[in-house]
Structure 1
Amino acid sequence: MCSSEEADLLRLEEVFSTTLDRIITLNLKPLLLADPEPSDLCGKECLGLLQQLHESAQRLWDVTEQSLLSLRQRLYHPSSLDLEAVLLLSNADLVLQAHVEYINEFWRSQRKEVWQLLSSGSAPRQVLYQPLADHVQKYVRLLLRLRDSLGETHPAQELVMHAVTLFENLQPCLRQALDQAEATQALWNSLSSRLRGVLCVPTHRLLQDSQDIPVVVSPLRAERVLLFDDVLVLLQGHNVHTFDLKLVWVDPGQDKCVLHILTPEDEFSFCTRDPKGQVAWQWKMTQAVHQALCGKKDFPVLESDQALSVPPESRRVACAYTFRREGRLYQATYEGDWCRAKPHGKGTLKWPDGRNHVGDFWQGLEHGFGIRLVPQASEDKFDCYKCHWREGKMCEYGICEYGTGKVYKGYFQAGLRHGFGILDSAPQAPQPIKYTGHWERGQRSGYGIEEAKDRGERYIGMWQADQRHGPGVMITQGGVYQGTFQGDKMAGPGILLHEDDSLYEGIFTRDLTLLEKQKGKVTLPNGFTLNGSFSRGTNEGQMCIQGVLHRAAHPSDSSGPHKRFRQLGAGAFPVESRWQGVYGPFRDFVRLGCPGEMQEALLGFHVQSSRELRESQEHLCDESHPEDGVGSMEDILKELLQHRKPKALQQYLGKATYSHIGSIKHLQEMATEEVKQHARELWAAYRGLLKVALERQGQTLEEESTETRDLQVHGVLLPLILPSFYSELFSLYLLLHEGEDQLYSRGITNLSLFSDTNLLEYLWSLKDLKLTSNQRYSLVRDNCFLSATECLQKISTTMNTQEKLEVLEKTYREIEATVSQVLGREYKLPMDDLLPLFIYVVSRAQIQHLGAEIHFIRDMMDPIHTGGLHDFLLTALESCYKHIQNEDMRPHRLPGHWDD
């Protein structure tokens, strides 16, 4: 059975619904229909305010009707609806919100022209405001009666109390809103016409006036302070200083009468007569700022409302702020995160000249990862900087794509290129040039490589102040020069190695002209040397020589005294110091214990698991997007501890990459030692990370001996990184050993003319292994070491030196197994017995570029194999290679049996 209080609530809702319908029908709709399309700006603004007021009144009427429907259902069908389901109780917040929206729109419409329209019949407050205020008061009275009529254990008791609390709090809000509206209207009337034109905004509501609670503003010396619900205004003579409350920070001073105010470009203090004044101003400003940030600037501020919290120091503000003072940010517009009146967090800066920066900020400066666009003089051309910033300047690793087409990938310091970096010109540039090396304060300095792509020239060596300076190697189409450079020119003693391997040693001038009677030495490809004086001839390109010619002891010996000049650069540039800029930042990172804030700065480190540069500005500022495939440093270190066994470690470190060696045969030794150095650096990087990971677990990492390190470098890392540059590195071996391989290929061709039987019979005469006629017949007729031949052919199908050695071992086992099978017993082949059989297998395998393969394996072989089986087998393969090149293996020296 329903109570009398519920019946009274029903009647109250019916009366209020009728009142709202009359307001909408008789007051608001006629005004909207009177001039639906005003032509003047003022008329359009008034129409917009009236439309919003009409919509809020309509929503309030809809909610009232829903409440009325639930009350009727409860009253006339009590068994079908419990009291707790009545809308006023079940969703009191919805009912309250509808009231608040209506009253907010009512006060927002306090514009002179709007109120003139609304007051055509009677006072707007009496018609539009008073019915709602009376209705709320009756709500509270009836809800209190309903509370008293219900027992303490009634299920609806808690809901009734919640509704009572909401509407009890709304009553003083309505009174305060009325007071603020009246105070604001009185303020407009008291101001001069000029100030009224600046400050009179319909949405403003005055919260505090320094004429009521006096303050002294320092250092601005403002004559009057006005706190509105969305802005703080300082009046100083004819000047009006306006501060958006969303960008105002309030700090109580040490003095109980002082209040500090922070804004993006101003900092000042309020000084009151007594502590009570300071407390009042602090409370009003703090809550006004909080509500402005929450988007509730039209909701009244209540001193008794303890639910309002202190505004956060770090905040994201949707509105944009334009800096007005001269300086670095003059006329720039910032939108994003703030902390204590400074850009702090993620944000976007835009300048009127088209510059645009999006990224991370720290205490007002670009700090962290950021992308900056800088327009060029020509249209639609921009320089794009995607890099890390520190205190407003580029630092650490970044990528810069210039409007000219140039691209720089490398490190910065204080806004300048500094450390390791690669500068590549546009592909369509008239003279495309690529520089890979070190920089110092924006200039090339230290070790670096410059390639002139159009001319096919390359400089490898030292730089100073953007010029070639110091030891260097210059590669041209005509030859290779190694010597000293000064001011971008060759100067002093040097070596000039021509394409035909003839070599000149002497003094070079800056313009490469010969001095009169200049002493020098020429070493010809056949080993002959010419010592004497060189000078220019009478005709262009002619050279006069006076000297002594020395014949080589063995002209055909390719390992003669001039061979040492075939490899350049290795002694001039210690491999340990060539690429310090690549690994230095990572070593610093590990030395500091892998701090999280430095993790992004390692984008330039050559490990694929490092974080990729984000490609767009929108993507950068999307906080909901997770980091791209990279976990936290803690996760990386934990994963590292789980991959310490050799196989697992190889899989984990398999992401390491390095490429670009070059294709000049005279640089093979330089490239080989460089590859090994990269492997050593990567191993040191792994050890450094492992040390940090163990220290965080309270453990220590045992010291590693040089021998153990070398074994790990060759056994673990070299097999992983060799595939990344194998083709380029191996091409150096092909070029360097091209002559030897041609002799070898000629020998293979000659040996292919003979049958297996004749060749094997001839080779068999070189050894002492005794076989019966049947055994020898079986060996040469039935098997011919086919399995061993097929096995050896696999040596050129792998890039891993360890796998190449394993192919050699398996070939040896196949040869030995074939012999043992023929003998009918296990037999271990000594070198004297193995060599002729190995020569046979090598000749039938017909491996191309075997010399390059042998030298590559020897240079990259793990030191652990030195003196072992693999070393023995590689030596045997080298002997086979030499024998096949030898004159004794030519056709006229072999037995003349041409049939099987």
Structure 2
Amino acid sequence: MANSNSSSLSRRSACRHKRNSNPAKPLRRAVDVAGLKDVCQVAVRSLLRTEEAFLSSLARINDIVLQPLLRTDSDDQKGKEHMKLLLLLSDRYHALWDRTEENYKTLKQKYNTSESSLTVHDIYIILKKNLFLEVYTQYFTCFTNYAVVHGFDRAAKQTSGYWKTNKKMLKQLLAPSISEPTISISLHLVLHESIRSQVQQYALILTRLNENAEEVDEKNLVSDALNLYVKLQNFISQSLDEASLTKTLWGSLGSKLVSSLCIPERRLQEDSKCVPVSISTGRFERVLLFDDLLVLQGSDFRSFDLKLVWVDPVSPEKSTPTSHSLRIITPEEEFLLSSKEAQHKAVWQWKLNQVIRQRLDEKRDFPLWGKSEEGLDPCASRFSTYTFKSECRFKNAVYEGEFSWGKPHGKGTLKWPDGHNYVGDFKEGLEDGFGICLIPHSSEDGYDCYKCHWSEGKMQGYGICEYSDESVYKGYFKDNLRHGFGILKSPVSTKHPFKYTGHWDSDKKMGYGIWDDIESGQRYIGMWQNDQRHGAGIVVMQSGACYQGTFLMDKMTGTGILISEDDSVLEGKFTEQLKLDGKGKLTFQNGFTLEGNLNNKAGKDRQTQGVLNTTSKEQDYGITRRLQLGLDEFPVEKRWQGIYDPFFEFISSGCREETEESFLGIHVQTSKELRKSQEYLFCQRDSEEISGKIEDVLEALYECQDPESLQSYLQKALNSSQHPFGKLLKSLSAVFQATYSGIGANWHLLHMAQEEVKYHAWKIWEFYRNFTHVASKQKGKPLPDTEEDTEGSEKENPYTLILPLILPRFHPELFMLYMLYHEKEDAFYWQGIVRLGLFSDTKLLEFLEVQKNLWPLKDLRLTTNQRYSLVRDRCFLSATECFQKIITTVDPREKLGILLKTHEEIETIVSRVMEKEYKLPMDDLLPLLVYVVSRARIQRLGAEIHLIRDLMDPKNEGGIYDFMLTAIESCYEHIQKEEIRLYRFP
């Protein structure tokens, strides 16, 4: 073979042969072995003699056999593959040779210079036993690989002329007991017998040394090395036997089967022809077990990677009296291996489990079949890659991940050829848990990306879908369809941008929902059916006008109410363009009404025939402004049931942690890669101070029973996106903004918004109570106080515990509605504030008819004119500053406390003036309150007062807080009076 590799090896061999052609010089001194007392020196001499002969043998084999083989040449592919194996064998051969020669020279030098000082630690087959083990196992692995594929047979044919000429030299390398072998057998024997014998010599030397060693440490060292060389002998014997059986098998099988299965590293481990078993699938007649495959042979064959083969013994009660079976489980097939003899079943079970375990460990036992691993079954959970082939949902998909008993189970990835893929959790062969799925579009570029919780192969529970058109859905799924509460939003760049916030059923908008038409600037609030507006609905327009009526299949039907920007109300039947056609009633803001036929003909002004009624009473003024929409049409308890239902389901399930993600959209345990992709609804992954794991939640709620610690915990929980309470609050605040912010900031929706906030507080309170009961049930102990709260009790309730914590989330939108609703009243009030602000303190006190004995200025010795000019905004300053704090909090309870504190501060100042404790009667208190309110100059006081009144705890009705709020309401109304707003200085 004229190539660089063979030339290099030839030159290397020539140099080595020249170096070793002269026999080693006789040992420097003769030693009488029988008389030598030091067993170590005896072992060293024996080892040196053995190595001299072995090195000489290696040199001769290299020159006579190995180098001629390397010089052969072949043009066919099979010959080239054989040559690669032979080159690798030659490398391992020379590595073994180099290792032996290097250590031989080192030991010989030590022996010649310091024979008497040699110890066990100088014997390299002991000290470097692991290195020797490595070179010998590598050599015999390469040797058997070459032998298995009939490499020696092919080499013998290619070099037959050379061997005829050098037959005598080849025979000299064989043992005398072998007579007239074939060339291939001769090559096989020459290249392994002497090397195998050398290992036996090492074992023999160590055996003698072990028998004569006296010191415990040395004996243990020698014994360990001896055991290793004995195992190496077993390994060599077993590897040669396996190679022989495998080579014989390849020679007995058809060429098609051999070409598919035969690789140099593969070894036969068991054959049903030797240990009979039958196969439950009738078309296969023979079972072959290799070290990496299980093969069923018949008219064709099936092979199974042992990494994905599980062996399940059939219990005796399920077996027939004449059959002993093993159930073989693979990702797509299950079948039985049955035998008539129990011992045959035991052999196959033991062999299968051992080979599977070794395949999973990606290494063979050493030796190949020892007793150390006997009885150790392979684990049921494995990590591997598999391509599905049968007709199923996974056909042609490549799965990479964890398996258990033949099915994907745990973390994994599925990839289809068309680009469809899934990465996430599996359970018993189906997607189950959190997962990300990409589904390509055949008609266009792009993917739909689902990040969702899965159950039994379908999207179930909370998830996110990012569609190829850049629209995004965040909400709940059922059976792969949008179902329950969810938000669908299209990008602003689309032709008709929109946002839908509401309920879904089988992928269609169904139930209560909010639709924002971003292009037209309209918002629809109401009922849906089959993706169409259907039922009661409210349309809010950007101009401030709004319509309430009934929709049928996305079209207006029946009568409706249209409230215009100037608060006039039009009742009747409307067209799609919100034009009244036919009989109707128009109510003006001042209470006047117009009833009759109101027609709007194309291209002409509105024509009206009807009756105008101008007899409205003064108290009817502004009646249209007080009109509130949606209260009867959309009961508050039915609006956002899709948000509450998952929480109730979670609680009713016993708050099981494995259901937490599906119900709540809060994932606790996920791999880092998947966690990065979870953009849960309203769940930014910021650092949290509180645990959201359900066991921690229940423990905390059970432990936090005193009001202070409970409020502190709930405040953290409601601000945490990882906590169930925080998740719920963020969902509720999002739908509140979707309904009442922007276009929806319409004062005719105030009462809808206000009752939603109170209802949310009650529902969160209800969840809190349910969670605490679950916690106490799991603890097996009752709560410290299990009495039910009543509305009139002094205990915590939704108004005192929950509402103050959640109101900041709703306050911006809610207070805006209050400001719009009370805009005119606040405008009149502010005119009065401006007028009163022109007065000095004393002039204002006189104007308000505050008794002079209550003035805190009587100690000043000034004339009236001086007081007017020098004293301003100094009276009741502490009370004024206290009252101004009402705008610094959103909690109605705190606001009421500020009102009470203001009252106390006024009485304290008056008591100081009177020089005695003094309780102000109402006739004296009201003027002083008007003074303090006017000096505080709170611009939207009407909105503040009504927010407090609507959201305060019902327990406070009729008490001191109610008294103070009523007093402030009287002040507010007094300041609006015309005589104050239009008052002119004399």
TM superposition shift of 1:684: 2.1
Counterpart of 1:211 in structure 2 is 273
CA distance in 1, matches of 2:804, 2:238: 79
CA distance in 1, matches of 2:518, 2:149: 75
Please list the CA deviations of residues 790-847 of structure 1 after superposition, one character each: whole Å capped at 9, or x if unmatched.
3322322333333333333333333233223333333333332222122122222221
Q: Is the 8 A contact 2:896 2:961 kept in 1?
A: yes
Comparing 277-286 and 805-814, the one that deviates more: 805-814
Counterpart of 2:360 in structure 1 is 293
Counterpart of 1:243 in structure 2 is 304
Residue of 121, 144, 163 corresponding to 1:107 = 144
Q: Is the 8 A contact 2:460 2:477 kept in 1?
A: yes
1:321 aligns with 2:386: yes
Comparing 331-340 and 45-54, the one that deviates more: 45-54
Please list the CA deviations of residues 182-236 of structure 1 after superposition, one character each: whole Å capped at 9, or x if unmatched.
1111122222222222222112111112222232212242132221111111222
Correspondence list, 1:781-792, <5 A: 781=871, 783-792=874-883
- Structure with larger Rg: 2
Counterpart of 1:641 in structure 2 is 702
Change (3 A) 1:191 1:812: same
Residue of 568, 576, 590 corresponding to 2:629 = 568
Please list the CA deviations of residues 402-441 of structure 1 after superposition, one character each: whole Å capped at 9, or x if unmatched.
1111111111111111111111112211111111111111
Could you tell me which runs of 5 or more consecutive residues in structure 1 were left unpaired when the two chains were aligned. Answer: none
SS of the residue corresponding to residue 496 of structure 2 reads coil
Please list the CA deviations of residues 532-567 of structure 1 after superposition, one character each: whole Å capped at 9, or x if unmatched.
444445754514231341432116843x4x4552x2
- Give the share of equivalent positions with the same residue, in percent: 45
Q: Is the 8 A contact 1:418 1:438 kept in 2?
A: yes
Please list the CA deviations of residues 71-98 of structure 1 after superposition, one character each: whole Å capped at 9, or x if unmatched.
7899788999985797766786665455
TM superposition shift of 1:513: 5.9
Correspondence list, 1:173-192, <5 A: 173-192=235-254
CA distance in 2, matches of 1:19, 1:872: 117
1:675 aligns with 2:757: yes
Counterpart of 1:257 in structure 2 is 324
Change (3 A) 1:283 1:792: same
Change (3 A) 1:30 1:506: farther
1:751 aligns with 2:788: no
Comparing 801-810 and 27-36, the one that deviates more: 27-36
TM superposition shift of 1:307: 4.6
SS of the residue corresponding to residue 948 of structure 2 reads helix
SS of the residue corresponding to residue 284 of structure 2 reads coil
1:414 aligns with 2:479: yes
Counterpart of 2:800 in structure 1 is 715
Please list the CA deviations of residues 459-486 of structure 1 after superposition, one character each: whole Å capped at 9, or x if unmatched.
1112122222222212124521222221
CA RMSD of aligned residues (A): 3.8
Q: Is the 8 A contact 2:148 2:247 kept in 1?
A: no
Q: Is the 8 A contact 1:643 1:652 kept in 2?
A: yes
CA distance in 1, matches of 2:611, 2:455: 63
Please list the CA deviations of residues 334-392 of structure 1 after superposition, one character each: whole Å capped at 9, or x if unmatched.
11111111111111100011001011111111111110011123665111000011111
Normalising by structure 2, report the TM-score.
0.80
Correspondence list, 1:500-539, <5 A: 500-508=566-574, 514=580, 516=582, 518=583, 520-537=584-601, 539=603
Residue of 746, 763, 766 corresponding to 1:684 = 766
Q: Is the 8 A contact 1:447 1:463 kept in 2?
A: yes
Comparing 243-252 and 193-202, the one that deviates more: 193-202
Q: Is the 8 A contact 1:24 1:58 kept in 2?
A: no
1:762 aligns with 2:823: no
Comparing 243-252 and 824-833, the one that deviates more: 824-833
Could you tell me which runs of 5 or more consecutive residues in structure 2 were left unpaired when the two chains were aligned. Answer: 1-37, 164-169, 171-185, 679-684, 720-725
CA distance in 2, matches of 1:55, 1:628: 58
1:666 aligns with 2:748: yes
1:234 aligns with 2:296: yes
Counterpart of 2:337 in structure 1 is 270
Counterpart of 2:451 in structure 1 is 386
Counterpart of 2:650 in structure 1 is 589
Change (3 A) 1:743 1:871: same
CA distance in 1, matches of 2:95, 2:800: 77
Correspondence list, 1:720-731, <5 A: 720-731=805-816
Change (3 A) 1:228 1:537: closer
Q: Is the 8 A contact 2:465 2:472 kept in 1?
A: yes
CA distance in 1, matches of 2:65, 2:882: 97
Comparing 7-16 and 329-338, the one that deviates more: 7-16
Correspondence list, 1:808-887, <5 A: 808-887=899-978
CA distance in 2, matches of 1:251, 1:426: 54
Comparing 720-729 and 642-651, the one that deviates more: 642-651
TM superposition shift of 1:728: 1.6
> How many equivalent residue pairs?
876
Correspondence list, 1:24-43, <5 A: none
SS of the residue corresponding to residue 473 of structure 1 reads strand
Counterpart of 2:610 in structure 1 is 546
CA distance in 2, matches of 1:248, 1:336: 15
Q: Is the 8 A contact 2:562 2:571 kept in 1?
A: yes
CA distance in 2, matches of 1:722, 1:189: 84
Q: Is the 8 A contact 1:612 1:628 kept in 2?
A: no
Residue identity opposite 2:487 in structure 1: I
1:310 aligns with 2:377: yes
Comparing 124-133 and 841-850, the one that deviates more: 124-133
1:483 aligns with 2:549: yes
Counterpart of 2:183 in structure 1 is none
SS of the residue corresponding to residue 842 of structure 2 reads helix
Please list the CA deviations of residues 717-762 of structure 1 after superposition, one character each: whole Å capped at 9, or x if unmatched.
2222222232122111111111111111211222222223311221
Comparing 854-863 and 445-454, the one that deviates more: 854-863
Q: Is the 8 A contact 2:854 2:910 kept in 1?
A: no
Residue of 817, 823, 826 corresponding to 1:741 = 826
Counterpart of 1:146 in structure 2 is 209
SS of the residue corresponding to residue 798 of structure 2 reads helix
Residue identity opposite 2:844 in structure 1: L
TM superposition shift of 1:401: 0.5
Comparing 45-54 and 677-686, the one that deviates more: 45-54
Residue of 192, 197, 201 corresponding to 1:129 = 192
Residue identity opposite 1:681 in structure 2: K
Change (3 A) 1:43 1:820: farther
Comparing 24-33 and 504-513, the one that deviates more: 24-33
CA distance in 1, matches of 2:931, 2:123: 102
